[in-house]
Structure 1
Amino acid sequence: MRVIVFVKATEDSEKGFVRTPETTEMLEAMGRFNDELRDAGILLAADGLTPSSQGKRIAFDGPGRAVIDGPFAHPRELVAGFWLWQVKDMDEAVAWVKRCPNPMPGPSEIEIRPLYELADLE
């Protein structure tokens, strides 16, 4: 089963990346975790996202399109980064997330969502 694992944004992540001893330590810990995922054959892709101030949304209404510039409200509803994993089931994904270093300087959340497979859509 493939899952996407979202690192939810925070007020800190929405300020943008600033290199400090704390963020350097967090990046090194995350790098080690990513190495473990890769060595276990779970990691398919991973990346961090820039703050929503650098993003755009496209709103659809019938044939109309409207471009909305960031930043977007409610950082905890935004995504700061993601992994794409191949796991045997949701329990395995949860177990891996529980091993993850905290991706933010303070409280944070990680969300796991299964991807639709082609068989699910037939």
Structure 2
Amino acid sequence: VNLLNNGLQAAASDHAAVFHIRLRAEEDNLFVNVQDNGTGITKDDQPKIFERFYRGEIKKRRTRGLGLGLTYSRLLARAQGGELSLTSSSPEGSLFTLTLPRWSGPEKTEIEPSYRATANA
């Protein structure tokens, strides 16, 4: 959701925001690519965008915010064993990739109840 919100904020004022979202699975990982048609992230800003409270010069002038969205998005991805990265960016837009481990779930097992309810008739 944060990537979509950022893409909306980065959209040029004379263009509608357009997103391309691609999902794919490969062996042990799931990949979610989110591409926008925004104004892009400058080369100078790219290494810093995942730092807490960092806001590029253009974003400081155009939108409100604390500079925590990408930081928390990356932390959330990592907490789930994944990663969030900026794959590419240009004046035509940015592409972020969210990688998450595939999880097939635990084996089905019978769980003993820890209590028994009784009804008095």
Give the shorter-chain TM-score range.
0.3 to 0.5
Larger radius of gyration: 2
Higher relative contact order (CA 8 A, sep 6+): 1
